[in-house]
A = this chain, B = another copy of it.
Amino acid sequence: MADSTLYYLDDLRVGQRFASKTSVTVTEERIKSFATEFDPQPFHLDHEAAKPSLFGGLAASGWHTAAITMKLVTDGGMPIAGGIIGASGELAWPRPTRPGDVLRMESEVQEIVPSKSRPDRGMITMRIETKNQNNELVQVFTVKMVVPRKAAP
């Protein structure tokens, strides 16, 4: 049964845009605790140690930025039927996320390809941008996602 509040493959068109309904403020405390668990490098843990690094100051792990982006994507701004399930994608971090940054998400449908072998689904390419409070890009993720089709009438 199709849910009319969700986008199926048939509802999407190239150029269609989505945006997060919320934002996430990235605290220094969470930058450090995320890094302690998953990416314990000095430039994600300590201001002084970060100064001589490529980042020039404390920066969030790129994987923290990626995880926050997923939270923004799943917070109602991109209501794709079947859920947000990425198969593969290209990821870039043009600049680091800093303590106090407020992140939001904007996305755009770039390609829609119905499956030839599976009539109940297709693949779309979505460009998902993460921006900070200064409208600067901190991440671009161009992802191929599986999206279900509406059942035939």
Interface residues of A (CB under 8 A from B): 34, 37-43, 53-55, 61-64, 66-68, 70-71, 74, 82-93, 146
Interchain Cβ contacts under 8 Å between A and B, 7 examples: A38-B68, A53-B85, A54-B83, A63-B66, A88-B90, A88-B92, A88-B93
Bound-complex Cα distance A153 to B84 (A): 52
| B-side contacts of A91, CB under 8 Å | 88-91
Asked if A38 and B67 make an inter-chain contact with CB atoms under 8 angstroms apart, the answer reads: yes
Closest Cβ neighbor of A84 among chain B residues: B41
The number of times this chain is found in the oligomer is 2
Q: A42-B83, A61-B70 are in contact. List 15 more A-B contacts (CB 8 A).
A: A37-B67, A39-B74, A40-B74, A41-B83, A41-B84, A53-B82, A53-B83, A54-B82, A54-B83, A54-B146, A63-B70, A64-B67, A86-B93, A88-B93, A91-B91
Docked pose: A38 CA to B30 CA in angstroms:
13
A62 near B38 with CB under 8 A, answer no
